[in-house]
Amino acid sequence: MINYSEEEGLNTSYTYRLRQDKDGFIWIGSDNGLFRFDGKEFKQYGKKDGLKNIDVLSCEPLPNGELLIISFLNDFASLKHGKVINSDQNRELQKLHFEHNPLISGTKETLYLCNVINPKNIFLYNNGKIKNLLLNHTSNKTSAKIQTIGMDTNKNILYIKNEKNEIEAYNFITRKKINCHISLGKSDITYKKDNFLINKHHNKIDVYKIEHTSRFTKIHTFYIREDIHQIIVDKNNKLWLCLDKGGVLYFDQPLSIEKHLTSPLRFLEDYIINDILVDTDNNVWFSTRNNGIFFITNSFLKNYISLPLRNNTAFITAITASKQDIILGYNKSESGIFHANTITDISLEPNKKTEHKAIFAKNNLIIFGLTKSIFKYDLITGKKKLLKPYGLKNILPYSGDSLLLCASNGLIVYNFIKDSYSDYLSDERVYTALPYHKDSLFVGNFKDLYKFNINTKTKTLFLEGYYFKDIQRLRSNLYAAGTNLNGIILFNNKKVLRKITEKDGLLSGQVKKITVENENVFWASTNSGINRIELKENRIFISSFTQTDGLPSNVVAGCVIRKDTLYAGTSKGLAILPINKLLSQQKFINKKVIINSVLIGDKEYFEPDQNLVGLSSNNEEVIVRLSFPDYSSQGKISYKYRIAGLIDNWQISNSSSIILNAVPPGKYTLQIFGLGYNGKQSDTSTDVIFEIQPRFWQTWWFRLLLSVLGISVILTGLNIYFQKKRNKKLETLYYEKKIAELELQAIKAQINPHFIYNCLNSIQFLLYKKNYSETENYLDIFSQMIRKTLYYSEKTFMPIKDEIEYLSLYLKMEKLRLKDQFSYQITASEAVNNKWTIPSLLIQPFVENAIKHGISGLKNRKGKVDISFEYHAPYLCITITDNGIGIGSNSESLKKDDSFGVKLSKKRIETFRQLFEVDIILEIEDLKEKQSLSGTQIKLYIPPHEN
C-alpha cells in the first residue's frame, strides 16, 4: 500500500474521517486541522485560515461546493471557495451545539445533524443557515438513555434505540414512531448505512436489510472473536470491520447478495484504523492513528484478492520457466518452484544471504546461479550438486547440452550432461553473451560489446560504451539488448539500428532483463516497472505496467510469458497477470482537470464559470491553480496546456500552477489536459475562458490620438529642422558675402593708393637715374605681386608653399623700395607639410605692419623680419618677428588694434571660426616688455588641413 504521512505533507498524528467531494478531492479530518488531497499535494486548513478548533473530526461536502467542518465538541465552520468561515463570521453556526459528536446525514443541499445520545432536536444546515426541528420522542424516565442509530432523510425517519433497547422509527415531521420489533443488547455496536443495519452483540454480527420503514430482515449472521471499534459499509455495500488491536477485516461481497459471506481478508494488522473510504474509482483509503493514511488502487486490490498465491512476498532476483513450472530465485540462498498455484521453497545454502543472479531450466534439470556458488538441481529426485565456484554474473543457453557461464573471471562453457567445463575467456569480467553465428559470440564486459571467435580465441570491439545487461535474439540478424544506462539497443551483426529510451516511453533507462514474446514483441524489466515493446515496421509501440496495474512492486527482476499470462518476479513477490487484461486498459483517464482558482492581477476567482476579466500590464500575471485528482497515478501528474489564439503549441508542466506572463489584451481560451500515470491523458480538456482588457493607452482611440500627436510632433520637428537648415544656409550666404567683402577689403588693403604711389615713385626714381635693369626687375616683381594678390583674393584657402612664395615676393619688393633698410628670412620646419592649406592672404597684413610700423622708423640699425612655419600638434604655428621699435614705443595705434590690417585680419579670423569652424588663435607680443630685445612678435595658431 501507499502510505501518505508527514514526509508527503500530511503533518498530523491522528487522522479521523475521510470524505470525497463532487470534484474528487479527498478530505481528511485530523488533530491538526482539515487536509485536502488532490493526488499530488496536501493543502492544510488550520488556525491561520480561521479554524477556531483544529481538532477536526470530519467534514461534509455539499453539492454546491461548500463543506461543513465538524470539529471535536462543536466550534463548527464552513469552507467555500478556499475560505474558512467560522462562527464569528457566520453567527448561524453558533446555533449548532452538541453534547456528543453528532450523527450527520444529508440530502441534496441540506445536512441533518442530531445528538447521538438523547437527541432533542435536529439541526438542518443549508447554505450557511440553520433551522431547528424539535423532537418529541423522549421517555418520561429522566434516567433513560436513548441512542440515535441512523437517519433516513428522504423519508424523514430517525432510527433510535429506546430505553428498552428496541429499535424505533421516528418520523420527525409527523412525530409518530413505529416499533421495528428488533431488540438489541445494551452494549451492542450498531451501524446503519443506506438500507442496511449491522449489529454486533458480543462475538455475533447480524446484518439486516430494511425492506420498509419499520420492517427489518436478517440476511447475514456470522461470528468474530476480535473486538471491533468501527463498522463501515462502503459505497459498494461491502462490509469493513476495524479491529481494536489493529487491522481491518474486509468482506469482498456486497451485502445485498443474500448468501453466506465469504471469509474476510485482513489488512494493515499493525495499524489502528479509524475510517475507510472507497472513492469513486473504487480505490481504498484508510485513516489511522499516528500513521497518516494508506491508499491502495482498485486494480491492485482486485489482483491481490484474485491472486491464487498467499504469503507471496519474497524478494525475487531471478526468474525462468521449465515446461511445467516457474522457477524463482530469491535474494538469499533459497529458491521457489511455482506449480499448480503453489510455491514450493528450496533451501540451497541454509543461513546464507548470497542472492540469485540467474537460473537455467530444462526438463527436470535446474541450474541455480548464485553470487558465489552454482547448484545443479533435479526436480524429480530433489538432489542438488554444488558446481565449481565462480563469481557468477549470468547464465545463458548455448547448445542442446551446454550453458554459457558469465563470471567475473571469464566466460565458461559448462556441459551439464558430462559435467565438463571449457574456458573461452580467462581473467576477464563477462556480464552477458549470445551466439550469433556457428563459431562466433557476442560477449559483453558490461561497458562494451565484443565479437568473439571461438576458433581463433580473438575478440573484436563491436559496440562501445553501452553498459550491456542482457542480450536476446528477436529474429534472424536482429537483437535487443538491455543496458544499465542507455535503455534498449536494437542492432544487427554490423551496427546499431535504433535506441529506445525514456523519451520513447520506457519507464527507465536501466533495463535488467529482456524477455522475448515473439519476433516482434519483447518485454523489458526495470526498477520502475515493466515495459512491453512491439515492433511494427518502422514504428515502436510501448506499454508500461507498474504497481498501479497490479505489480506487487515496481522493482522487476525479470518475467516469463506463458500463453496469455505474465509472470513477473518483483521485490515483493511473484505477479501473475493476464496479458489481455493489461493491454485492454483504457487509453484515457475519465477525469477532468479541476480549476481551484484563477488569479488575474490582484483579483482571485474561485468559480471558473465567472466572467474572468483582468487589465493588461507588463507586470500582471495570470495564475491558474490546478488539480487532477487521479489517485491511481500516485502523484505522477502533470498538465498539458495551450492558449488558443495566442500559443498554438502544447506546453507540458509538472507544476500545479500555470503562470502566464504579460498576456496581451484579448479574449482567450486556456485548454488544459491532465496527464497521469504512463502518460495517460484526461479524455476531455478543461477550458478556462478569460479576457485581458487593454489599459487606456492600449485602446484604439488612444493609439489614434497618439499617432496624430506623433505625426504632429514629427511635422513640427521637420519644420524646425528645415527652418534651421534654411537659417544655416542664409547664415552661410551671409558669411560668404562677408568673406567676399573682406577679400575686397584685403585687395584694397594690398593695392591701396599709398602703396602704389610709393611703388611708382620708386620706379620713377630708378628711371630718373637711368637704372633700367633695376627698374625692369622692380616692375617684374610689382606685376607678379599685383597678379598673385588678385588671384589669391578669390581663394578662401591657399597652400603653405604658395603663401611662402607670395610673402617672398612682397618682402623682396618692399626691400627694393626701401633701399635695403631691412633683411628678411622665411623658414619652414620639416614637420610642416607644404600641401597643408591655410586661410589665404591672412599673414601679409601682419608682415606689412612689421615693416610699416616697426622697421621703417629705425635709424641706428638695420631692420630684420623673420617668418617661421612650425608644427606643434595639433596646431600650425606661424611666427612673424621684427626687430623694430616695438608696440610700446611708437605705435600706440597698433597696440590699440587701430591698424586697418590688424582689424581686417581679426574680422577674417572670426569669420573663418564661424563659417568653417576653424579655430585660429592670434597672439601679439611686445618683445621689449618680456625680453631685453626690441621689436614685436606675432603668432598665429592654425589647425592645418590637407584640402
Spatial separation of the C-alpha atoms in residues 563 and 555, rounded to whole Å: 23
What proportion of the chain, given as a percentage, has pLDDT over 70? Answer: 93
Name the most confidently modeled range: 250-259, 295-304, 872-881: 872-881
Average of per-residue pLDDT across 684-702? 76
Is the pLDDT assigned to residue 101 strictly greater than 60? yes
| pLDDT at residue 143, as a whole number | 54
Please confirm whether the linkage preceding 874 is cis (ω < 30° from 0): yes
| pLDDT at residue 47, as a whole number | 94
| pLDDT at residue 340, as a whole number | 86
Backbone φ and ψ of 922, nearest 5°: -115, 125
Least confident of 15-19, 82-86, 552-556, 783-787: 783-787
Angle, helices 800-817/753-768, rounded to nearest 10 degrees: 50
pLDDT band (50, 70, 90) for residue 726: confident
**Tally of CA atoms within 13 A in the half-sphere of 901 that contains its CB:** 19
Is the pLDDT assigned to residue 50 strictly greater than 90? yes
Is the pLDDT assigned to residue 302 strictly greater than 90? no
pLDDT band (50, 70, 90) for residue 669: confident
Contact 354, 371 (CB under 8 A): yes
Average of per-residue pLDDT across 575-583? 90
| pLDDT at residue 168, as a whole number | 92
C-alpha cell at 149: 442509530
Average of per-residue pLDDT across 649-674? 88
Average of per-residue pLDDT across 288-297? 93
C-alpha cell at 301: 486490490
Residue whose cell numbers read 575467456: 425
Could you tell me whether strands 863-872 and 875-882 are parallel, antiparallel, or unpaired per DSSP bridges? antiparallel
Is the pLDDT assigned to residue 890 strictly greater than 60? no
pLDDT band (50, 70, 90) for residue 139: low
Is the pLDDT assigned to residue 693 strictly greater than 60? yes
Is the pLDDT assigned to residue 856 strictly greater than 80? no
Is the pLDDT assigned to residue 619 strictly greater than 60? no
C-alpha cell at 126: 443549508
- pLDDT: is 860 or 477 the higher one? 477
As a whole number of Å, the end-to-end CA separation of the chain is: 95
Angle, helices 700-750/900-916, rounded to nearest 10 degrees: 150
Is the pLDDT assigned to residue 778 strictly greater than 90? no
| pLDDT at residue 376, as a whole number | 95
User: pLDDT of 346-399, one tens digit each?
Assistant: 999 888 888 999 999 998 999 999 998 999 999 999 999 999 989 999 999 998
Backbone φ and ψ of 585, nearest 5°: -65, 150
Spatial separation of the C-alpha atoms in residues 79 and 272, rounded to whole Å: 29
Q: To the nearest whole number, what is the mean pLDDT of the chain?
A: 87
What proportion of the chain, given as a percentage, has pLDDT over 90? Answer: 52
| pLDDT at residue 352, as a whole number | 84
Spatial separation of the C-alpha atoms in residues 407 and 278, rounded to whole Å: 51
Is the pLDDT assigned to residue 851 strictly greater than 90? no
By the 10 Å C-beta count (0-12 exposed, 13-18 middle, 19+ buried), 331 is classed as: middle
pLDDT band (50, 70, 90) for residue 480: very high
Average of per-residue pLDDT across 244-250? 94
Average of per-residue pLDDT across 390-411? 93
Is the pLDDT assigned to residue 345 strictly greater than 70? yes
Angle, helices 753-768/772-792, rounded to nearest 10 degrees: 160
Local structure of residue 554 (DSSP, 8 states)? S
Angle at 729 between CA 726 and CA 731, to 5 degrees: 110
Average of per-residue pLDDT across 718-727? 88
Least confident of 135-149, 351-365, 643-657, 795-809: 135-149
| pLDDT at residue 745, as a whole number | 59
| pLDDT at residue 895, as a whole number | 45
Is the pLDDT assigned to residue 565 strictly greater than 90? yes
| Bridge partner list, 77 | 69
| pLDDT at residue 893, as a whole number | 42
Helix, strand or coil for residue 295?
Answer: strand
Is the pLDDT assigned to residue 701 strictly greater than 90? no
| pLDDT at residue 56, as a whole number | 95
Is the pLDDT assigned to residue 246 strictly greater than 90? yes
Is the pLDDT assigned to residue 560 strictly greater than 80? yes
Is the pLDDT assigned to residue 461 strictly greater than 70? yes
Could you tell me whether strands 657-661 and 681-682 are parallel, antiparallel, or unpaired per DSSP bridges? unpaired
Type of residue found at 493: N
* Sheet of 432-437, strand order: 432-437, 440-444, 449-453, 458-463
Contact 320, 472 (CB under 8 A): no
Residue whose cell numbers read 483509503: 285
By the 10 Å C-beta count (0-12 exposed, 13-18 middle, 19+ buried), 569 is classed as: buried
User: pLDDT of 897-944, one tens digit each?
Assistant: 446 667 777 877 877 777 777 788 998 888 876 666 678 899 999 988
pLDDT band (50, 70, 90) for residue 896: very low
In 153-283, DSSP assigns E strands to: 157-161, 166-171, 177-183, 189-193, 196-201, 204-210, 216-223, 228-233, 239-243, 248-251, 265-267, 273-278
